[in-house]
């Protein structure tokens, strides 16, 4: 039985291969005829052929357009990312320059008018800074027991934290002063003659107080450093403006591409929909080619060339082989079915025999029981007779 099932599996595989070869040959023949006899397919097949081809071409063209747009968006994202990092670096450089510029400006005497508010804020912060430093020195010089020492340590920690905070505040004030002045300088306000140019030096460029947050000594002539610093700031601002402009161009192009899609789905989903649509139409086209190939001899007749007829003959051989294999499979399956029916018959005969044996045993048991019943009745009669005689 196992050998026959194994044989069926082998034959089924052979039949599947024969049918596959037949189908491929007929599909190739149908494709060749459809392309060669352009506009000469009978009935609705011509319309189906052209519609399937057109829908496949449209889907592939749409996919190509979307993929091209996505590739451009990816390239734009990379460019934008590079420019954003570059802009972040330039802004960091600009902050450092504004900070230096603000420190120089607030060291000038007199301080430029644009920086007046920041100078007052700085003086207040410096006074607070100096007061805290004095208090810290007093704590560090103090003496006493363990509890006094612990109290001084805690107060010192709090003061050091405040000093750091004031140092950051001083940096922020200098940064804002540098931004305010450099903005006016870049716009040409200082060239209008209303405010003295501190970069020119002279009496107005005398040294000022040291900035404790900067960690340096008072400058002898801070104004001398301003001119090159302002040139660097103007160049950096120009660079930042160019970067912003380039980023704007890239972002607008990216937005324009996204707006051009014109469909509600995400691009990847749209591509999948188009691929599925093209796949269905390719399958429809393959089925149409197969139908054309199968009916080639009857429909096209004299239009077939030698190669077409050879293909039909080869496909016929594979079809005949598949039919023969199918018949052989059916014969083996019939033999297996006959054996199964015979097995059923043997099983039923065995059941009948068993039941007959049980029936004979039952008849024998019934006879024995009837005999015992008769003996019991006879004994009853004897006992009743004795009772009557007495």
- Within 8 A by CB and 6+ apart from 196, the residues are 112, 204
- Distance, C-alpha 253 to centroid of its chain: 24
Which DSSP string corresponds to 224-286? GGHHHHHHHHHHHHHHHHHHHHHHHHHHHHHHHHHHTS-SSS-HHHHHHHHHHHHHHHHHHHH
pLDDT reported for residue 85: 95
Chain centre to alpha carbon of residue 222: 56
- Point out the least confidently predicted range of 98-102, 167-171, 253-257, 300-304: 300-304
Look at residue 1 in the predicted model and tell me its pLDDT: 54
Asked if residues 9 and 298 have their Cβ atoms less than 8 Å apart, the reply is no
How many CA atoms are closer than 13 Å to the CA of 130, on its beta-carbon side? Answer: 8
Whether the pLDDT of residue 20 is over 90: the answer is yes
Q: What does the pLDDT look like over 109-143, one tens digit per residue?
A: 888 888 888 989 999 999 999 999 988 888 888 77
State percent of the chain over pLDDT 90.
54
The average pLDDT across 256-282 equals: 90
Q: What is the pLDDT of residue 351?
A: 92
The set of residues, in sequence order, having a beta carbon less than 8 Å from that of 42 and lying 6+ positions away, is: 299
Quote the CA–CA distance of 105 and 174 in Å, as a whole number: 8
DSSP letter at 310 equals: H
Instruction: Find out whether 130 and 206 touch, Cβ atoms under 8 Å.
Output: no
Q: Where is average pLDDT lowest: 45-49, 251-255, 351-355?
A: 45-49
pLDDT-above-70 percentage for the chain: 88
Q: Among candidates 36, 34, 61, which has minimal Cα distance to 49?
A: 34
CA distance 104 to 112: 11
How confident is the model at residue 39, as a pLDDT? 62
CA 302: distance to chain centroid? Answer: 56
Q: Which of 211, 2, 7, 240 is nearest to 101 (CA)?
A: 211
Q: pLDDT (tens digit, 9 = 90+) per residue, 58-104?
A: 999 999 999 999 999 999 999 999 999 999 999 999 999 999 999 99
Separation CA 384–CA 381 (nearest Å): 5
pLDDT at 207 over 80: no
Quick check: 148 pLDDT over 90?
Answer: no
pLDDT band at 221 (very low <50, low <70, confident <90, very high): low
**Residue 238 scores a pLDDT above 60:** yes
**Which of 135, 112, 248, 242 has the alpha carbon at shortest distance from 189?**
112
In DSSP terms, 109 is beta-bridged to 205
Do 136 and 156 touch, CB atoms closer than 8 A? yes
pLDDT for position 33: 87
Whether 23 contacts 16, CB under 8 Å: no
Judge whether 346 and 32 are in contact, CB under 8 Å. Answer: no
Predicted pLDDT at 300: 82
Mean pLDDT of the chain: 85
Q: Is 100 in contact with 229 (CB distance < 8 Å)? A: yes
> Residue 229 in contact with residue 32, Cβ under 8 Å?
no
Bridge partners for 205 per DSSP: 109
Contacts of 102 (CB under 8 A, 6+ apart): 115, 118, 173, 174, 175, 176, 177, 178, 179, 181
- Tell me how far the alpha carbon of residue 123 is from its chain's centroid: 56
> What pLDDT score does 74 carry?
94
User: What's the pLDDT at 325?
Assistant: 94
* pLDDT tens digits, 336-386: 899 889 999 999 999 999 999 999 999 999 999 999 999 999 889 888 888
Query: Where do runs of H (alpha helix) occur along the chain?
Result: 2-36, 44-107, 116-141, 146-187, 226-259, 267-294, 296-300, 306-389
Instruction: Write down the pTM of the prediction.
Output: 0.60
pLDDT tier for residue 390 given thresholds of 50, 70 and 90: low
What tens digit of pLDDT does each residue of 151-206 get?
A: 888 988 999 999 999 999 999 999 999 988 887 655 544 433 334 444 433 333 33
């Amino acid at each position: 039985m196992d050998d026959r099932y194994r044989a069926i599996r082998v034959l089924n595989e052979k039949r599947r291969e024969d049918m596959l070869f037949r189908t491929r040959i007929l599909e190739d023949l149908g494709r060749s005829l459809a392309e060669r006899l352009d506009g000469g397919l009978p009935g609705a097949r011509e319309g189906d052929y052209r519609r399937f081809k057109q829908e496949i071409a449209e889907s592939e063209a749409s996919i190509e357009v979307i993929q091209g747009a996505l590739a451009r968006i990816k390239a734009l994202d990379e460019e934008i990312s590079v420019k954003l990092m570059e802009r972040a670096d330039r802004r960091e450089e600009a902050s450092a320059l504004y900070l230096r510029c603000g420190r120089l400006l607030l060291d000038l005497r007199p301080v430029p008018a644009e920086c007046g508010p920041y100078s007052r804020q700085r003086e207040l912060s410096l006074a607070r800074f100096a007061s805290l430093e004095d208090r810290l020195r007093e704590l560090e010089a103090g003496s006493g027991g363990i509890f006094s020492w612990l109290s001084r340590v805690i107060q010192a920690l709090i003061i050091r934290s405040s000093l750091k905070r004031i140092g950051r505040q001083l940096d922020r004030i200098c940064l804002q002063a540098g931004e305010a002045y450099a903005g006016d300088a870049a716009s040409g306000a200082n060239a209008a003659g209303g405010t003295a140019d501190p970069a020119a030096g002279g009496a107005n460029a005398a040294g000022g107080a040291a900035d404790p947050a900067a960690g340096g000594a008072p400058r002898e002539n801070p104004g001398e450093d301003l001119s090159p610093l302002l040139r660097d700031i103007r160049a950096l601002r120009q660079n930042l403006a160019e970067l912003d402009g380039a980023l704007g161009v890239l972002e607008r192009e990216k937005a324009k591409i996204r707006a051009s899609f014109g469909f509600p789905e995400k691009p990847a989903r749209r591509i999948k929909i188009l691929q599925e649509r093209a796949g269905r139409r390719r399958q429809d086209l393959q089925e149409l080619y197969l139908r054309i190939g199968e009916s080639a001899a009857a429909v096209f007749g004299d239009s077939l060339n030698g190669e077409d007829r050879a293909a039909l003959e080869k496909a016929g051989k594979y079809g005949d082989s598949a039919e023969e294999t199918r018949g052989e499979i059916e014969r083996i399956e019939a033999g297996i079915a006959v054996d199964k029916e015979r097995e059923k018959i043997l099983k039923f005969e065995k059941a009948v025999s068993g039941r007959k044996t049980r029936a004979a045993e039952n008849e024998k048991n019934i006879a024995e029981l009837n005999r015992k019943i008769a003996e019991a009745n006879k004994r009853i009669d004897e006992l009743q007779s004795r009772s009557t005689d007495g």
